[in-house]
Each structure stands twice: as C-alpha cells, then as structure tokens.
Structure 1
Amino acid sequence: MRERQTDESPGRRARIRAATAVAIFCLVAAGLFVAPPDDLYLWAKALHLIAVISWMAGLLYLPRLFVYHTDHAPGSPASETFKVMEQRLYRVIMTPAMMLAWLLGLYLAWTVYGFHGGWLHAKLGCVVALTVVHVHFGRAVRAFAADANRRTGRQWRLWNEVPALLMIAIVILAVVKPI
C-alpha cells in the first residue's frame, strides 16, 4: 500500500526537507553578512525577493485551501488532509518566509534608504497589513484544525483577494516610488 502524505513518516520527511531548505537559506544569508561580498546589497535584495515570493505564494494559496476545506464535513478524510496541508504550508513555508522577508527588508530599508521616504513608509504600512493578514490566516489554520471554522467558502474567496491587492500596492510603491 502506498504511503499517504498525511501519514506520519512522509510528514516527518517533509518537515526535515523543509527545515533543511530553510536552514540552508539562513546559512547563506548569515554567511553574506559575516563575510560580506562587495555586492552585499544585491545579494540581500535577491534573498529578500525569494523570501517575499515564497511568502506571497503561501498567502495566495492558503485561502484557496480554506475554500476547498469548507466543502468537506469536519472529521472527514478530506478535511483531515486539508488540515495537514494548511498547517504545513503556514508553519513550514509561510512563517519562515515572512520572517526572512521582514529581516532582509528592514536591512535594505535601513542601509539603502535610512528609513526615509513617504513611499517607504506607505510600503511598510502595507507590509504590516500583509502581516496582519498572515496572522489572521494562522488563526484560521488553528480554527480549521479544531473543526471550529466560522467562515463560508465565499468569505474565504474574498479573503483570497486581500493579499493580492496589498501585493499590488507594495510592488507599485517599491518600484514607482510615487510618494
């Protein structure tokens, strides 16, 4: 019989692989700051973008999982599978990516811009809002895990748009610097 991804053994292996990937990313980032190359800014920017893309992928995908999860009765095999998927996505990918995006972003904001500029303050405000959405999704992961979700699939579809709108604002502020 084939092992399912919700079984303990594949889950343990997935956690080990994910932890290894995060550790390697952190070691590379730390190595760049301990022995900085001449183009440290470009390396920090590249790692920041990798972290942001990973975080955004999770923020855009997790509410879709919630939509699909609401279609299944609590305790059903599908519901239990969605619980595992949601928890792994949130804890193993999204949260480490968010932390790295914040750390590298603050480093870049300080070293390059000295935290000056209206566009930067507006962008940071949007990133704070995105972090609030992240925390809200974390609470939803816990609610689904406890079979206590109170939102409908339609409500989760609407929540799915919030990170996308914030991302658009953040990218425009970072690239165009309109204010």
Structure 2
Amino acid sequence: MLYLWIKALHIIAIVCWFAGLFYLPRLFVYHAQSNDPISHERFCIMERKLYRGIMYPSMVATLVFGIALVVLSPAWLASGWLHTKITLVLLLIGYHHVCGRQLRRFAASENARSHVFYRWFNELPVLALIAIVVLVVVKPF
C-alpha cells in the first residue's frame, strides 16, 4: 500500500512540475514581446512565483518520490528503460535550471532572445514527457 501512495504522490508531483515546465517558457514568449515597464514587472513577478512556488518544490517532490519508488523496487535498477528515464530526468533538471537562469536574465532586463526562440524552447519538455511516458508504460528494454 505504501508503494501505491508514493507512486500517486510521484505522479502528482510530475504533473505539477511539467505544468511549470510548459508554462514558464510560454511566459517567456509573452515577456519577450512586451515593451512597457509595467508588463515587464508583471511578467517578472509571475515567472518568479511560478519557478519558486510551484516548479522548484514540484521538481524536488518528483525526485524524492521517484527515488523512494526505486528504493522500494530495487530490481528496476537492472532495467534499461529506467536508466534511459533517469537520463531524461537529468536533462529535464538541466532544462529547469536553464529556465531559472533565463528568469534571472529577464529580471535584470538582459534578455537577448526573441519570442520565436522561446516558442521552440517551449517544445523541449513535451518531447521528454512523451519519451518518459512511453518508457514507463511500455518498458521497451
């Protein structure tokens, strides 16, 4: 029963983290298009609250519950699909931190990228999510 509770909490944390990973770069798109100081300040506040209040705690919870699942099922460590999933999660953590650096650039009015860049940047976590779901459900190797 403990395993199922941890699994449920892991899935909830993943959903919350991905909501932020999808939405923050979308805010960057709009922020890059804004020209007035009021919009700039509003986007800075929204981005900071999303990153610190939702994304970061959700990422930590995802990792804690994911590690707990592996501790409860150590045989998974011999599975290739889990190694691939862990690699993708590490890349997502990197993406998360790149978003944090970009947030700080916007706050300092140092953004040098266009809204088009952020539209493409916004698609990267979608690809990771698709791959991770396939790995976890299908377990191809």
The TM-score bracket by the shorter chain reads: over 0.9
Between the aligned partners of 2:84 and 2:16, the Cα distance in structure 1 is: 22
Quick check: which has more Rg, 1 or 2? Answer: 1
CA shift, 1:107, in A, is 1.1
RMSD of the TM alignment (CA)? 0.9
- SS of residue matched to 2:87: helix
CA shift, 1:112, in A, is 1.4
Q: Following superposition of structure 1 onto structure 2, how do residues 28-67 of structure 1 map, counting pairs within 5 Å?
A: 39-67=1-29
Offset from partner CA, 1:41-82 (integer Å, 9 cap, x none): 000000000100000000000000000001112x61011100
Percentage of pairs with the same residue: 47
Higher relative contact order (Cα pairs below 8 Å, separated by 6+ residues):
2
Q: Following superposition of structure 1 onto structure 2, how do residues 124-135 of structure 1 map, counting pairs within 5 Å?
A: 124-135=86-97
Which AA in structure 1 matches 2:100?
A: G
Q: Following superposition of structure 1 onto structure 2, how do residues 119-158 of structure 1 map, counting pairs within 5 Å?
A: 119-158=81-120
- SS of residue matched to 1:82: helix
Which residue is 2:51 aligned to?
A: 90
Gaps of 5+ in 1: 1-38
Gaps of 5+ in 2: none
Alignment TM-score, normalising by the size of structure 2: 0.96
Offset from partner CA, 1:106-136 (integer Å, 9 cap, x none): 1112321442200000000000011110000
Deviating above 3 A after TM superposition, structure 1's stretches of 4 or more consecutive aligned residues are: none
- SS of residue matched to 1:178: coil
Offset from partner CA, 1:5-52 (integer Å, 9 cap, x none): xxxxxxxxxxxxxxxxxxxxxxxxxxxxxxxxxx00000000000100
- SS of residue matched to 2:78: coil
Which AA in structure 2 matches 1:91?
A: R
Which AA in structure 1 matches 2:43?
A: F
Structure holding more helix per residue: 2
